[in-house]
Structure 1
Amino acid sequence: MVMNKALLAAVALATTMIIMMARPSVQESVYITNHLTKRVLIVHCRSTDTDLGAHAVAVGASFHWNFRENIFGGTFFWCKLAVEDKRIYFLAYDEYVETFGTWFVCDDGVYGTPASRPAFLKAAWTRP
Structure 2
Amino acid sequence: MGLRSSQPQLYPGDIVEFPRNKHISHFGVYYGERDGVPYVAHLTSRDSEARLLLFGRALKSAVKVEPVDLPEIDEAVGKACTYDILFHNCEHQATLFRYGLKKSVQIEKIYGRIYPTWKDLFETKKL
Coarse TM-score class (shorter-chain normalised): under 0.3
Name the one with the larger helix percent. Answer: 2
Task: Give the alignment's TM-score, normalised by structure 1.
Answer: 0.27
